[in-house]
Structures are given as C-alpha cells and as structure tokens.
Chain A
Amino acid sequence: MTATAVDHEIGRDRRRKEDQRLITGRTRWTDNIVLPGMLHLAMVRSPFAHANIASIDTSEAQQAPNVIAVLTGADFGDELGVCINAWPITPDQVTPVHSPMPSDRVSFAGEIVAVVVARSAAEARDAAELVEVEYDELPAALDLKEAAADSVLAHPDLGTNKSALWVFDSGEAGTGGNVEDAIGKARADGIVIEREYRQQRLIPAFMEPRSVVVDPTGEQLVMYSATQIPHILRFALAATTGVPESKIRVIAPDVGGGFGGKLQVTPEEWIAWAVGRRVGKPVKYTETRSESLMSGHHGRDQWQKLTLAAEKDGTVTGLKVELLADLGAYVAIVGGGVPVLGAFMFNAIYKFPAYHFACQTVLTNKTWTDAYRGAGRPEATYAIERLMDELAAEVGVDPLEVREKNWIKHEEFPFTTVAGLEYDSGNYEAATAKARQMFGYDELRAEQMARRASGDPVQLGIGVSTFTEMCGLAPSRVLGQLDYGAGGWEYASVRMLATGKVEVTTGASAHGQGHETAFSQIVADRLGVAFEDVEVLHGDTAVAHKGLDTYGSRSLAVGGEALVRAADKVVEKAKPIAAHLLEASVEDIDFAGGRFSVRGTDQGMAIGEIATAVFAAHNLPDGVEPSLDSDATYDPVNFSFPHGTHLCAIEVDTETGALKMRKYVCVDDVGNIINPLIVSGQVHGGLVQGIAQALWEEAVYDDSGTLVSGSFVDYLLPTAADTISFDIDHTTSPATTHSLGVKGVGEAGTIASTPAVVNAVVDALRQYGVHDIQMPCTPERVWRAIQGGGAGGSTEGAAMPHFDPSEPGQDSTEGAGA
C-alpha cells in the first residue's frame, strides 16, 4: 500500500510515530541491549559527603563468584579521563578537577570509589558489598550561604568555595542605565521592593534511569548511553581519554526522558569506557533509582536577592539581581552556565531602563548541579513574576495591570531589551486577553472577595505569570561571546531512497519529545511525500554524524530549520533532472505537492519517480551526479522567545494549609505550531513539572550531607492523580528569524507555571500579612505562614521509614550502594 501525501502536514494533530514502541518498552532502551560476552558493572559509592579515602580493600570482592575485576581510581591513570566543564563562565573560574573515580578524596555522598566487574549484574552487586573502604571524614560544606563565606571548604586544596562571579550591568554594557541610580531615586520618591527567594534543589527524575553499554570489540569503540547528547559525549570522550574521535561511535538508543538530567558527561560513562577498554569485552552499567537520585546531577538550588525599583504608579525603573548558585561538588558540563542562561531573562517582558545581574557560583559537598528543564530561565521567571505581584500589591492594583503598564507593546517589536537581547516577535496583550477570558478572571476575583468577606475557611488565590523565555539554543557567535565551549548550530540530512521513500537524519537527539513525528511532518510538506514515507534517524554518531543534540528547546527551532534547508536542497538538485527527464527547460519546471511539472502542460513527475531515476542513473543530464541527497547545517541568527500568560486559581484550606488547584489556564505563544498534539503534550508535562517545584519536589540533605529525600517515598513526584486538567490555548506570533516561524515549547510550561502557582498561594494569604512562602509550598509551611510564622525555613527531618529493616531477629547488611 502506498501512502498518499495530504495537503498540509504542518499543523496536523498527528499521533506520534514513536509512541507504541516507547510506551510498550519493546524497544532498544540501553538496558535492553545484550552483547555477546557482556560483563556487568556495579559501583561502590561513598556514604560520606566529604572524606579522605584512607584505604580500599578489594580482596574479598575479588574472590566473589564470577568477579572479573575490582578496580579503583588508583588502578587507572590518565586513561580514565575527566568529566569536563564546557562552560567556564569567567576566565578565572575556580574549577576542581573532576575525576570520574577519585582515589584520594570524595566530595559528595554517592561519589564512586570502586567498580566491580562481574559476569552478571547480581554478582557484581553482591561483590560490591564486599569492598571495604576506610574513610577519614572531613568537615563538609553543605549550606549554600555558609559555603559562600568559605567557612568550610568543599575542596580544601582550592582555598575557596567561590568558583566564579559573573556580572552583567546594563550601564556598562550600554544597554541601559545605572541600577543604583534607579534604586536611589526610588528610595527617595518611589517604590523599592526587596526580596530574597529560594530556589530549592530539584532532581531531574526522568523515567529511565541512566544506563551505559561499552563495546570495545569492533574497529570503533562503541558507547551506547541513555544520554541527551551523543555528539557532545563523543567529543568529550575523545578530548579527555585520548581515543581519536574517529575511533569512537556513540549511540543514544531510545532514551526515556532527560529534562536536562541526561545533558551530562557522567562518571559512570567514563568508568564504563575505561573498564571496557581494559577488559576488552562489552560492559554494561545501569543505575538503580537510588543511585540516580543520589548521584545524577541535580538542578536549581539558588538564593536570589532581588531589588526592584519603581515609580509610585508602578512603572519599573530598575532591577538588581544578586544570586548565589550551588554548583555542588564539581562544575558540571554546563554548570555555572545555568544561572548565566537566566541572566538575560530577569527583565522578562518588561521595559526596565536599568538592570544589574551578578551571580556567584559556589562549590559545596553536595551532588553536582546542572541543567534541569528550563535551566536558568525558570529561576529568572520565578523571581520577576513574584516581584511583579509584590509590586502590584504595593501599588494597590491588580497584578495584570502592573504588568500591562510595563510590558513591551506588540507594536514595539522587534524590541532590544535592557539585557541586550532582541525579541523578534510577541503579543502579550493578545495572550493575556485570551487567558483572562478563558479563566473567567473577573468572576474568580469576585469569588475571592466573597470568600474573604465571609471568612470562609477555604480561601481562594489567583496567580499570574506572564512569562517569556529565550530558547532555541543558540547563535554560535553569542555562545562564543559567553565563552561556551561549543557552537549552537544544528545539522540535518535528507536522503532520497531508490523506492521514493525518504530517510532523514538529524543531529538533534530526541529522548521522548516526538521529533520523529514532527520532523516527518515538515519533510512531508516540504517534499510533498507521505508522512509515513519519511523515516527520521537520530542519536547515532555513525548515522547522524554531526549535531549538537537536544536541550534548551532547540531541536525544532534550530534542527527543524536545518531540515528545511536540507529538504530544499533536494528539490533544487531534483529540478534539472526533472527538466531533463521531462524534456523541458529548468525555468519551466514548477515544484508543488511533491510533483515536478512543466508549466502550462499536464506533464510531470513525482519526486519519488525522480529518486528512482537517479538511483538507476541511466539517463541523467551531463555532469550531474547521481544523487539527490543533501544536508544542511544551520546556525540560528537569534534565540527564539516564546511567551504566554498563565493564570492559576488555588484553594487554600486555612485549617490545614492544604492546597487544591482549582483552575489553570495558559495561553502560550510558541510561534507556528507543527503538531498541536505534541505541543499540548509538552505544555501539559511542562506545567506539571513547574507546578511540582512550587508544591512538591525538593532534594533535602541532612546535617552530614546525606540525601534524605533519596527515594520516591520522600522525593515527591506528582502523578496524574495530583493534577487537574489544564485549559491550554495559543496565540501565534511567528518567529521572524527563520522560515518555520516556530519557537521552542519544551521548557515553556515549566518556566511559566512555578510562579503562577506560588503567586496564587501568596495571593490567598496576603490578607494575613504573608508575602512569601518558600518552595515547595507544603501544607505545613502554608499553615505556619497563616499562623504568622513567616515564609518557612529549610526543610528538615528524616525520611519516612516505611521500609524499616530493623525487625526483630534479622541482621541487616550494610552498604552504601543500593
């Protein structure tokens, strides 16, 4: 059966091609891969946050059944390589050497000190319990503010915990005025809002734990990894382990989610690589969920000190942002760059005339941090959207009114912001008007007043977030100016097969987003072939030989545009051949709906027929190569700037502090939409992830640096049972800097929703004198705030002990690994 092309694929609600195999799990997850003679690894991890390694005795483990080797950092030299930081944010950044398996000192609980290689995963795990490690505990730098004061050093040899201070000042940059002048003036005759907000530590809890298989048995060394970044991984392996890049093939098979958590080069990958090469056999390592929560990189973790200056009527005049950002024990691959990605977004959609941003990154003895869905922009959006609500309260106007007074009007685009970015398009008025209407804003405000008046034990709060963000990472030139270690282009190729089917490769590396579907729609439209006839290949450096992978809502805005250009080249190549075969001149050939036709006649050929003719190559014009295959590398000229208006109503049970979401409406402008169903999926999922930061998730450590929320019993992830059905819609202001007109949508929901929720909670409680609740807004914090207890301090206490082993008559075995 031949599928036929429909008129317009772009804009259709196509079900995702990839879903059946992903949902059923009958696919190539890394952990499903079994290679001949494959050995299994288990890691021995430090239970201490900071300790010198006095000794490691592997003798008993070596004797355990079917153990091939037990190796420590000392058993490897340079061949182990290092985990890299690709973005030193300042020239003088203090960056500890990050050995995948240190031999002298551990710097966070969960760091690997030894690896067991055995014939089965169970035997490896059993033997790992037999490795005896003696530690001399060192004082640990745990609290971010204390660490910033260098009271205890996370890495004593560095002499400081302060890694880098990154500053942007609009006065110095020439993009705006001097913020101190603005604040001074506001102190005299305006409004100054000063707040300190906490971005708690989060864990990117992707569905599929990380897994890696290394196969050293072929001519190329092959690494399969559950990663978002196969191409960057390949580069980093070559750069740090001495293996030529050409000898390395990295494959990211189907990957079960990442959310930034798999945008990393991990110690586990490096150790598997070194062990595979050492033993000359395929090896596999798959982490447990406990290991994942403890040692996969974490996200957020900032203190934000904020000063907003405004005139009495609420017109903003300046914004000063001072951040402390917790790097954890090492500077991860993006590391300190995460808060820098937020630096350009604190001013958001508002016309601040003066802006100052300073971020101090700080090393601690906690799990290292890096990108987590939104990476820098959720933090910025949270701060500014919370502040705008505070400003509205101070002025005594509706939060939407103060926003409207300050936002960029739609006729003012393109608009250069005080942070120096040029926003190409947007319409905040339109999105807000639509959201307001869908939400029933005025009715809910009336209900809120009525509940207040009657002293109802259930109070209503309404939260607003009119966010924007920068995504579609990123113009290479800008990345260069920021000292990022790579560019931001993307690659695509289109291969016309002999049977008329189309094979597409992309350097983007989908891990659940639906690229295969969306990219097929683009190619189907561009080449006029059937959706079903397009195959999208990715995630293998031998298939899509170059690329910069998937993160920062870049795949469609950058990778999609590369694909458009590659497809257009196919058409250009096919045209003279069509003319030749149709015995017409090239100037008379039109291409539409997948057909090359001779203008003014009914003669024509489908692109598939031309592909077949090119394959045979029996009758081509002189000097034309027998190939239609084309590729393109596209470097974006600008970021893309999705925006939207999110409105959230929350009921607060004032007797218990319990929160119940009543309604959530968002109207996002993500430019043109290729597949509305996929966009909805991204928005819904993104919203839940952002709401989860507001209400549920937090990585909590105890005083000794142990992760207390180390399982899903205590790290609270929401499920569908905890959320409501969101009302989502769109306005459309196409991006103007590329042909697809799309903007990224992967992170939008997460970025926007967190402040909408917290603003709603605070809005309900403002009547009690509350102007902040620390995230996550637990019922206890809310209840204490109502009782006059402030915003709430740090989360403390033990985990819930549901799986207590201490039942009578049983010995428990000890082991840091789990």
Chain B
Amino acid sequence: MIPAQFDYVAPASVEDALAALAEHGDDAKIIAGGQSLLPVLRMRLNAPEWIIDLGRIESLRGVRDDGDSIVIGAMTPHSVVGSDPLVAEHATLITRAVEHLADAQVRHRGTFGGALAHADPAGDLGAPVRALGASFVIQGPGGTRTVSADDFFVDLFETAIGDDEILTEVRVPKHTGWGAHYEKFVRVAHQWPIVAVAATVRVEGGTIAEARIGLTNMGSTPLRAAAVEAALAGQPATEAAVRAAAAHAAEGTHPPSDLNGDADYRRHLATVITRRAVLAAAGA
C-alpha cells in the first residue's frame, strides 16, 4: 500500500493554497484529514503529482457563533465538531450524526469539510447538513461564493466546488431547541451506513410543528425527505401519525444496490428508520 510519488506543499493561508491549486491545476489534489484521499492514493486509484495540505491553515479550523448561524471551519476535525457546545446546542443533529461517524481514529483525523467535499452519498454528514439547510462557503481565484446545501451536492463524489476552489466553511442556521436524532443502519459498527436518516423536529405541545429530514445513501447525493416533512407538519408526535408520514420516506429516491442490500430493501428500510428517527427526535 504505497502511493505513487507526489510532491507536497502545506501553505499557511487559503490564498497560498489557491495559488498552489492554480499553479498545478489538474495535477494537484487537496488533502484535509486524508481519511478518504489516502486510501485512494495507497490503492493507486489516483496518482496526483501534487498534494496540497490544508492542515496548517488555522483560519479553516474551529466553530464560531455568527448570529442566526453557527459556522464550522472546513478543517475542523469530526472529533472537535462532535464535542463542540455550539454545535450541540444549535445543530444537535450534527452532534448526533458525528457520534456514529466511523471510529475514534478516523474522527480524530477526518474533517467536516473534507467529508462534505468528498461527497460520498453514504457519508454521515451530508444528510444532516441538508436537513438543516446549511450553506457552503467556497473560495476561489475570483473570490468567495456561497452555495446552498441543495445545490452543493451534484452527484456521486461531485460537489459544486470547482477545480480551482476550496471549501472554507459551512454555515448552519441555528435550530436551537429542536429535537434531533440520527438513525444509522449498519451490519457492523465501523461501517458506512447502508441507510441512515437524519431527523430534526420542532415540537410544540405534543405537535410536530416543523420537521426536517435528510436521507443518507438513498441516492447519488444526500437527500431531503420532503414528502415526509410535509406530511409531518402539524401532526401529533405519535407512533401512528409518524408511521403514516414515514411511509413516504422512499419517494423520489434512487438508492444503490450493493453487497449490503438491494435498492428495494433500502427503500423499505428508509420508511422504518425514518419513523424511528422522527419519533426519537420528537422524544416520543
């Protein structure tokens, strides 16, 4: 497991990183925590000539409060996101999802931005950030732009980040006081989800006032279960009501078939897991 030879640069600022990216173009690859990129290199599935390491750029690290949103730096490791009090208070869904992401070693190295930029539809962070309506701050040679979660995920392993751009931070609107639950269906603990559901709900006096639900691994990108969200709004937080709404979970999805399950099985799982996630999020 030895990667092909590459040159390595670790710039100290986003500007320097962008300059390096501009200079080496297609021959370069950004490395964040390396937890997805290194296996690719070591299995020689890819052989970039340059590796640009964002690890020394302090400004990309950390979580801050920005009024209506919290802002998570792209290079913040999963372990930090998972234990951050701001995230826990205002975006509990992300805290819940990170708890289930890989193992402690991977959470220590892997980064929030790296995972989202990698855009594995089985990744655990896409569904919660979509559900929470996050937006993505992307910096390139022409400056900075912001992309909504709905537009960020383009396809399998493909995002709105251009070849010459870097994801710098993710802005997550505060969902303070919302109940949240991430239900991950796996065969062994260290696996990527076969299917997972990220649910966060605002309950008012026993009624689900608002629900936001993201689906993991039910298509080529993380998905929103819009039909379930609509069906839940205004319903009582009861088993029967949630069951009826969750029956819509697989609508419009195109899950994969692989060693861990056929598409139709995943569609079925989505309905069961959505029900469980919503009920848990609602504290019911």
Contacts and interface: CB of A to CB of B under 8 A. Distances in A.
A650 B267 CA distance: 25
B55 interface: no
Given A810-B29, A818-B1, A656 B185 contact: yes
Contacts of A810: 26, 29, 46, 48
B250 to A, nearest CB: 14
A443 interface: no
A606 to B, nearest CB: 51
Contacts of B36: 802-803
Interface string A682-721: 0000000000000110001000000011010110111101
Given A655-B272, A804-B156, A795 B185 contact: no
Contact of B262 (A289, A696, A780): A780
Contacts of B262: 780, 797
A509 to B, nearest CB: 27
A817 B2 CA distance: 11
Contacts of B43: 290, 711, 803, 818
Contacts of B191: 713, 716
A108 to B, nearest CB: 20
Interface string B18-52: 00000001100100000010011001111110000
Interface stretch (B73-81, B174-182, B253-261): B253-261
A129 interface: yes
Contacts, number: 121
Most-contacted residue by chain B among A779, A798, A800, A803 (CB, 10 A): A803
A658 interface: yes
Contact of A808 (B120, B163, B259): B163
A692 to B, nearest CB: 9
B157 A290 contact: no
B190 interface: yes
A665 B138 CA distance: 56
Contacts of A721: 188-190
A781 to B, nearest CB: 10
Most-contacted residue by chain B among A796, A805, A812 (CB, 10 A): A805
Contacts of B260: 778, 780, 797, 800
Contact of A804 (B2, B5, B157): B157
Main secondary structure of the interface of A (DSSP, over half): loop
B157 to A, nearest CB: 5
A719 B190 contact: yes
A783 B273 CA distance: 14
B46 A798 contact: no
B258 A797 contact: yes
A184 interface: no
Most-contacted residue by chain B among A288, A717, A809 (CB, 10 A): A809
A658 B187 CA distance: 8
B227 interface: no
A659 to B, nearest CB: 9
Contact of A809 (B44, B156, B163, B268): B163
Contacts of A783: 265, 268
B158 interface: yes
B270 to A, nearest CB: 11
Query: Size range of the interface on B?
Result: 35 or more
B136 interface: no
Interface in A781-818: 783-784, 795-813, 815, 817-818
B40 A803 contact: yes
A189 interface: no
A795 B260 CA distance: 9
A719 B265 contact: no
Most-contacted residue by chain A among B257, B259, B262, B272 (CB, 10 A): B259
Interface in B146-190: 156-158, 163, 185, 187-190
A809 B265 contact: no
Given A716-B188, A813-B4, A708 B44 contact: no
Main secondary structure of the interface of B (DSSP, over half): loop
A627 B122 CA distance: 68
B2 A805 contact: no
Interface in A166-196: none
Contacts of B265: 780, 783-784
A693 to B, nearest CB: 14
Contact of B258 (A718, A719, A800): A800
Contacts of A722: 188-189
Nearest to B36: A803
Contacts of B39: 802-803
Nearest to A653: B272
Interface residues of A, number: 52
Interface in B180-238: 185, 187-192, 194
B247 interface: no
B269 interface: yes
A350 to B, nearest CB: 34
Interface stretch (A118-126, A328-336, A341-349): A118-126
Nearest to A65: B5
Contacts of B25: 809
Interface string B44-69: 11111000000000000000000000
Interface in B99-134: 120, 122
A803 B2 CA distance: 16
Nearest to A807: B157
Contacts of B47: 811-813
A708 B257 CA distance: 13
A695 B190 CA distance: 15
A714 B188 contact: no
B261 A780 contact: yes
Most-contacted residue by chain A among B26, B39, B45 (CB, 10 A): B45
B257 A126 contact: no
B45 A803 contact: yes
B44 A818 contact: yes
A716 B187 contact: yes
Contacts of A708: 259
Interface in A463-509: none
B29 A813 contact: no
Nearest to A700: B259
A722 B257 CA distance: 24
A783 to B, nearest CB: 7
A817 B46 CA distance: 13
Contacts of B190: 719, 721
Contacts of A780: 260-262, 265
B259 A290 contact: no
Contacts of B29: 810
Nearest to A712: B190
A813 B46 contact: yes
B258 A812 contact: no
A695 B45 CA distance: 30
Contacts of B273: 656
B48 to A, nearest CB: 7
A129 B44 contact: yes
Contact of B1 (A289, A718, A804): A289
B187 to A, nearest CB: 6
B40 A805 contact: yes
Contact of A812 (B46, B122, B158): B46
A800 B259 contact: yes
A81 B105 CA distance: 44
Contact of A126 (B5, B40, B158, B261): B5
Given A122-B2, A808-B158, A800 B122 contact: yes
Most-contacted residue by chain A among B40, B44, B158, B191 (CB, 10 A): B44
Interface of A: 121-122, 125-126, 129, 288-290, 655-656, 658, 695-696, 700, 708-709, 711, 713-714, 716-719, 721-722, 778-780, 783-784, 795-813, 815, 817-818
Instruction: Give me the 3 closest cross-chain CB pairs, A-B, nearest first.
Output: A805-B45, A721-B189, A805-B46
Given A126-B5, A714-B259, 17 more contacts: A122-B2, A289-B1, A700-B259, A709-B259, A716-B188, A780-B260, A780-B262, A780-B265, A795-B259, A797-B259, A802-B39, A802-B120, A809-B163, A810-B46, A810-B48, A812-B46, A815-B44
8 contacts: A709-B259, A716-B191, A717-B188, A798-B257, A804-B40, A804-B120, A807-B46, A809-B163
